[in-house]
Amino acid sequence: MISLKLNRVTFFHRDTAPSAIHHNKNSQFSYLALIRFIMAYIIYAGHYGLLARHEAFTYRLFQLGPFAAILVFLIISGYSIASSFNREMSGFYARRLGRIYPVFAVSLTFYVAFLAAYMSVDIFTADGTKHGPLPQVGRILINYLMLNGVIGDQIIGTSWSLAVEALFYITAPLLFLIVQSKKHILFLLLIIASAVFYWFHENLGLPYFANMSHGTAALALFFAWGCGFYFYFHQSAVWGITFPLFLCVLLNHYLPLGGKYSLYTLYIFSTLVFFANKLPMLNQWLTVLLNYLGEISYPLFILHYPLLIALNYQFHLSNQYVVTMVVLGVSALTLAFVDKPCRRWIATRSSLQVKNAFVASGIMSGAVAILCVISLFFYIHG
C-alpha cells in the first residue's frame, strides 16, 4: 500500500504566531478574490464592446486585455485548486462540482431558451455576429457535460475557458503526485511543453482557443494554470519573479483579443497573485467585502455573455451603467439563490463524495484522453 507524506505549505517563518498566519492567509485569499473580480470585469467589458458597442469606460477596461485577464484567472485557479486539494482531498470533486456547475447550467439553459424563443429570427449583435439558430440536441448535451473543446465546440462565449479548467480539475490529483514528488522538475517540463505548444499553435494551423477541439486548448494554456499550481507547493521569490516574466514573454509573442495594456495587466496581477501573502493584512470588513466580490465574479463571468445578448437584442438597452447594474444584479441573485444553496446541498450528499480522488482522476483522465483521440481520428479521417 502506497502512503503519501503530505508536505503542507506554510506562508511564513515557523516562528510566526499561528493567529497571524491564519489572519494573513485569510487576507491573501481575499486579495485573490478581488483580483478575480477585476479580471471578470475586464472580460465583461471586452464582451460589452463586442455585443453592445464600446463606450468610453468599457473601452478603457478593454484596453487592459481580456485574454491577459483569462491567463490571470488560470493562474489563480491553479493556485486555489492546489490549496483546496492539499487542504482537504476528501470531497474535492464534489466541491468543484458545486462551485462551477449550477451557475453554468443556469447560464447555458438561459441562452438555449433565448435562442429557442427566436428560432425563426436572425439575431445579430452590435458587432455583426449572428447568434443562432438553436444548436442541435447533441451539441447542447456536449456543452452540458462540459466536453466542448474535447468532442465539440462551445455554445456560450465564455464557456470554453471553463471547459479548459474542468480538464485541469480532473487531472489535479495526478498532477499533485508529480508536483509533490522528488522529481517535480517533471511538472516544470509539462509547463514548458505547454508553452512551446502555445508559441507554435498558429504554425500548426490551429484556431483561437475558444474554437479548438480534441483538448488542444487545455494543452496550450496549461502553462498559466500550471504556474499557479506549482507555485503553491514550491513558493520562493525566484519563482514569484520568474513566472510573471515567463508569462509575459509568451503573451508578447501571441496576444489575441487586443488590449494595448495587456502585458501590464498580466505582469502586475500575476505578480500580485504570487506575492499576495506579503500584502498588508486586511481588517474584517474589507475581508468580507473582497470575499464577496470574489464569489460574485464567477456568476458575472459565466452569465454576462448571454445576458448582454438578451439586453442588447430584446430590450435595446444602451446605457452602459444600466446594463452593468442589471448584469451585476442578476449575478448577485444567482449567487444568493443558486450558487450558494447548490454548494451547500452538494456538500451534504455523501453519494457525491469520491472516496479515492487519485483513482477517480486516473479513470476520468483516461476517459477524456480516449475521447480526444477518437475526436481527432474522426477529424482527420472525416
3-state secondary structure of 148: strand
Structural domain includes residue 298: yes
Helices within 203-334 (DSSP H only) = 216-233, 237-253, 262-274, 284-313, 320-334
Structural domain includes residue 14: no
Place of cell 483513482: 359
Structural domain includes residue 12: no
Structural domain includes residue 15: no
pLDDT in tens, the chain (382 residues): 334 444 444 443 334 443 344 445 678 999 999 999 999 999 999 888 777 666 777 788 899 999 999 999 999 999 999 999 999 998 899 999 999 999 999 999 999 998 888 766 777 766 666 777 788 899 999 999 999 999 988 888 888 999 999 999 999 999 999 999 999 999 999 999 999 999 999 999 999 999 999 999 999 999 999 999 999 999 999 999 999 999 999 999 999 988 899 999 999 999 999 999 999 999 999 999 999 999 999 999 999 999 988 888 777 777 888 889 999 999 999 999 999 999 999 988 887 788 899 999 999 999 999 999 999 998 888 6
| Total number of domains in the chain | 1
Structural domain includes residue 4: no
Q: Which domain holds residue 376?
A: 22-381
pLDDT at 2: 38
Structural domain includes residue 158: yes
Among residues 261, 290, 273, 207, which one has the least CA distance to residue 30? 290
For residue 313, CA distances in Å to 122, 133, 308, 328 come to 11, 15, 8, 19
Give the separation between CA 174 and CA 358, rounded to whole angstroms: 6
pTM comes to 0.90
Structural domain includes residue 200: yes
Contact in structure between 278 and 31 (CB atoms under 8 Å): no
Structural domain includes residue 325: yes
